[in-house]
Amino acid sequence: MGTLHEFRCPACGYEAQVSGGPAGGMRVLTETIHCKDCRVIDDVVVARSSGGRGPRRTSAEESRVPPCPKDASHDVSLWRAGGPCPRCGATMERGEHFIQWD
């Protein structure tokens, strides 16, 4: 079961509701990314279930950073809870869990 958290930047006020790292449910696996071109953090789907089995990633897929959902040519990196704000670089703070998903 995945959990979304509210992350807020105390310096500039940027907010995002993301997992803050890898997360998974019965149908999808997600990763939190930082798109340096869009200047946002976002969760993106990295695997879906197929054939009645839970979602799985190959080792090659695990080492690959997923692309920005708006433009695959954007400069993207993985983002983890406590990472920098995509707008100003200050440390993002995790708030209460926002929602649990499956």
Per-residue pLDDT of the chain (102 residues; tens, 9 = 90+): 678 899 999 999 999 999 999 888 777 889 999 999 999 999 998 887 776 666 565 555 566 789 999 999 999 999 999 999 999 999 999 987 666 655
> For the chain, what is the domain count?
1
**CB–CB of 14/86 below 8 Å?**
yes
Helix (H) or strand (E) holding 65: none
The partner residues of 16 in beta bridges, in order of sequence, read 7
What distance in Å separates the CA atoms of residue 63 and residue 5, rounded to the nearest whole number? Answer: 24
Give the residue numbers spanning the domain of 60.
Answer: 2-101
The partner residues of 38 in beta bridges, in order of sequence, read none
| DSSP at 88 | T
Backbone torsions φ then ψ of 65, nearest 5 degrees: -85, 125
Say whether 61 sits in a helix, a strand or coil: helix
Q: Which amino acid is at 79?
A: W
